[in-house]
Amino acid sequence: MISQLEKEVTFRFLKTRKKDGFINVISIFSFIGISLGVAVLIIVMSVMNGFRSELIDKIVGFNAHAVVKPFSNKLIENSYKNHQIEKTIKNVVTSNDGEGVLLNKTLTKGLLLKGYLNKDFKNLDIVLNEYFEGSKNLIEKSISIGKELSFNINLDIGDKVTILSPSGVQSIIGTLPKQETFEISSIFDSGLTNFNENVAYINLSSLENLFNHDENKRFLEFFFNDPTNIEIHKSNLQKIFPDEYVYTWSDLNKSLFSALKIERNMMFIILSLIIIVAAFNIISGLTILVKNKTRDIGILKSMGVQNYSIKKIFFLVGFIIGTSATIFGVIIGTLFSIYIENVRQFLSTIFNVSLFPEEIYFLNTMPSELNIHSILLISFCSILVTIIVSIYPAAQASKLDTVKSLKYE
């Protein structure tokens, strides 16, 4: 417990006095340094969390969250029904794919062709979004291509293209690549240029006919209500389909998200040094304060104040500076993270420069996502550092000899 005397002496030492001017300057710089360190950490972590969330949204927005592929020639059955995982599933579609070459006059382009049943294609998120153009029906001999692909090879809805398959057709002159003509029925926009340029959708029956695929090789694509908990969903699917191959969007992008995680952790460690450096100013300030308050410490000890109370008083001075600076930094960092897009637009207007250009980052706004766990971790680390650096000067204050302290008074 903190006694009334300890509280009064602590707040008296915190008050500004003319003869303590240099000490107050150090305290102010300690306060500003810790506040800035906490604020910068919250802002950076929020932006990186925002980038990660935007990236996940882009990836899971057009890709299946989980895929179950058969190892054998046995058709996969919908055995997930009446299982607890059914409550978490948003949609399940039957699919297949193959790689072919698109031919258009003198232009050619390699494509990954994904096949869906017409009823399943209509329910895909990429079809239901506002940027989708054309018919939502994916009938035989029709194809849906990406926006960038349509621009690059000058194609529009209603145009016809030829798809060349690696599957061979026997003829009198030997084996020839199989090819079929498709009519462009729609144009989609996934939000990622690479996907729009290299992926197209065709009817599942047309795909199997073009690539000579067996119906038993069809696989299931799962879309969940909450794709972020993908490891739990994968574990459940592996229990339901123990003899099939199960993989998720996380598995396909493991190296990318591992790199983002490492980068985020390194940024946290590096920026934490700001707080540590600022906190060391507290040691300097408290040490000088102890030297300047030698007489006051002597008087307190002569009045019967215990060494433990003296230590607690100086510890509280450092703790209050660090804690108040942390709280102030959390407020500044949170507000800046919330209005970071407004700040970006303001700076872009004032300095006439393009901050966070859309053509480079493929995002039209600065992403930011506040995470309460990150804020609590940053606050905890900041206060912990403050506690650690306040211990030494407080201990030194309690060790001062009463007689020597009052010898020259």
Within-domain flag for 355: yes
Clarify whether residues 82 and 204 are in a common domain: yes
Alpha helix stretches (DSSP H) within 166-203: 193-198
Show which of 185, 217, 249 is a domain's final residue: 217
Within-domain flag for 61: no
pLDDT of residue 114: 92
Q: What confidence tens digit (pLDDT) does each residue in 230-279 have?
A: 888 888 888 888 888 888 888 877 777 777 778 778 888 887 787 777 77
pLDDT of residue 393: 79
pLDDT of residue 79: 64
Q: What confidence tens digit (pLDDT) does each residue in 47-92 have?
A: 888 887 777 777 776 778 888 888 766 666 666 666 677 778 888 8
Within-domain flag for 227: no
Please enumerate in sequence order all residues whose Cβ is within 8 A of that of 88, keeping only pairs 6 or more positions apart, or say none. 224, 225, 226, 233
Q: DSSP per residue over 126-159, as a string?
A: HHHSTT-EE-S---TTEEEEEHHHHHHTT--TT-
What is d(CA 64, CA 261) in angstroms, rounded to the nearest whole number?
23
Residues of the chain whose pLDDT is less than 70? 1, 13-26, 61, 72-83, 168-176, 292-293, 355-364, 400-409
pLDDT of residue 332: 93
Helix H, strand E, coil C: the string for 217-257 is HCEEEEEECCHHHHHHHHHHHHHHCCCCEEEEHHHHCHHHH
Q: Of 70, 111, 96, 71, nearest to 213 (Cα)?
A: 96
Is-above-0.85 flag for pTM? no
pLDDT of residue 91: 84
Show which of 189, 217, 245 is a domain's final residue: 217
- Which two three-digit tokens encode residue 334? 């949170």
Clarify whether residues 125 and 183 are in a common domain: yes
Looking at residue 399, the DSSP 8-state letter turns out to be T
pLDDT of residue 82: 61
Clarify whether residues 305 and 339 are in a common domain: yes
- Count CB-CB contacts under 10 A for residue 365: 14
Clarify whether residues 169 and 272 are in a common domain: no
Clarify whether residues 143 and 13 are in a common domain: no
- Count CB-CB contacts under 10 A for residue 380: 11
Locate tokens 């680390």: which residue?
381
Domain extent for 84: 77-217
pLDDT of residue 402: 58
Q: Is 201 helix (H, G, I), strand (E, B) or coil?
A: strand
Tell me the CA distances in angstroms from 140 to 94, 191, 210, 339, one per residue in order: 16, 26, 11, 49
Within-domain flag for 305: yes
Clarify whether residues 28 and 116 are in a common domain: no
Size of the chain, expressed as the number of residues it contains? 409
What is d(CA 126, CA 139) in angstroms, rounded to the nearest whole number?
17
